Amino acid sequence: MQNIIVFLCRLRKLKSEFEAKYGESPMFYACAPGRVNLIGEHIDYCGYSVLPMAIEQNILAAVSVNKTGTIQLANTNPQYKDFTVSCSEEITIDRNNPLWYYYFLCGVKGIQEKFGIACLSGMSCVVEGTIPPSSGLSSSSALVCCAGLVTMEANQKSLSKVELAEICAKCERYIGTEGGGMDQSISFLAEKGTAKLIDFQPLRATDVQLPDKAVFVISNCCVEMNKAASSHFNIRVVECRIATKMLAQARGVDPSGLLKLVQVQTSLNASLEEMLALVDEALHPEPYSREELCTVLKITPEQFSTELLSSNTQHVTHFKLHQRAKHVYGEAARVQQFKKVCDSKPAGCIHQLGELMNQSHASCRDLYECSCPELDQLVDICLKSGAAGSRLTGAGWGGCAVSMVPSEKVEAFLRAVREAYYLPDARRAAMEKQSLFVSKPGGGAAVFLEG
């Protein structure tokens, strides 16, 4: 009930800001939630299932259709500037300058291209959000999803949630991030009260009932990381793509049509355990140079650059294939085991799930190298404060940890983490209220009509 009251207060405040900005009331609202990934990090773009849940924090937009022939974007946060674009011009997105409105325009462009809309309906929009930016809780993808939903509604089109998720996953790549679709999928397919196992090809979501006596707590390490503004994320995508080719080649499989590690497993009809053994057998732990890769794959340096690298990874000279592939296959197995434990609920299931989360963090830290010292410190504090399991969530290199805490320990846990991580540092202490919170599985993206 409290959350409904808070949400209605946000709607009223957003309506007032919209009226002050545009001199009229909004016609409708749209919201899209952020997410926390419980397990399955950096494997969606390799084709493997993930296990996230939507959180209550979301992106909220107030919208009216206008006759100005423009899309007018404003944000309630004064640090995000207004932007206007003509409906008759081609939408261009500057991937070298990932400002907030370019994420919104990704969603607009995705719907425009899906329906072949020559001239979009004019829109006046005010956007507000409660997802901490660059925190690993998918604020950017929620903004893309909200924009896609808004554009569909304003142009009187209709799509299923699965179609919307697939479109928004593709169109976010306009900003330069080569994600796999988890964030957009859970934003649309989430249901209150349940986590989801997200499978790809075809995209589908299966309910996962989490243990009754466990609470999930999100804690922000207060180091920001913007995926589109750095190359860390796309370098990992590229390393997995190259590892796919190398593993296929090692087993005599034509690598030309393969881009994802799951495709090698499917081609070989192998188990995840067999794939982990193949990684140890076929890939050396030392980084691979471009020259070695070109020699093994029998391609030219030009082909390597154009066919395997993305625009912001052209500078990379060495690639850690063994470590990245080992993480992906191991993490895919942990997702399967996590779902199995949730379904069967054996005695000691909280301990088992916690151990899988701990293994996941160790793999992200040591094999995928997507953690940072602050996140490692925070995870360590969470475990010492009573969490059964704790791990980074999201892309990493900053952002949030998610901890599974026995419900009877949650108050003591929050107090201990606050005292050990946030209060000793003035900057963290100032951010603590929005950085440390209990989260329950929330619902998916939705449109509300002004009534």
Residues identified as active-site: 183
H/E element, 216:
strand 214-220
Place of tokens 């440390």: 436
- Per the rule left: phi > 0, alpha: psi between -120 and 50, beta: everything else, 246 is alpha
> And the tokens for 360?
């996941």
89: left (phi over 0), alpha (psi -120 to 50) or beta: beta
Tokens of 442: 């929330």
Is the CB of residue 394 less than 8 Å from the CB of residue 141? no
C-alpha to C-alpha distance for 144 and 382, rounded to whole angstroms: 32
Closest CA to 196 of 443, 402, 445: 443
- Cα–Cα dist 33/161, whole Å: 14
Q: Which structure tokens are listed for 1? A: 């009930």
Which position has the token pair 């004019």? 122
Interhelix angle 232-250/321-344, nearest 10 degrees: 90
CB 96 within 8 A of CB 185: no
Coil/strand/helix, residue 383: helix
Distances (CA, A) of 394 to 44, 51, 142, 148: 11, 12, 13, 22
Using CB atoms within 10 A of its CB, is residue 224 exposed (0-12), middle (13-18) or buried (19+)?
middle
Instruction: Give the Cα-Cα-Cα angle 240, 242, 247 (nearest 5 degrees).
Output: 90
CA distances to 43, 76, 294 from 230, rounded to whole Å, are 19, 26, 26
Q: Are 124 and 52 in contact (CB under 8 A)?
A: no
Integer Cα distance of 259 and 308 in angstroms: 9
**Type of residue found at 80:** Y
Question: What gap in Å lies between CA 167 and CA 165, rounded to an integer?
Answer: 6
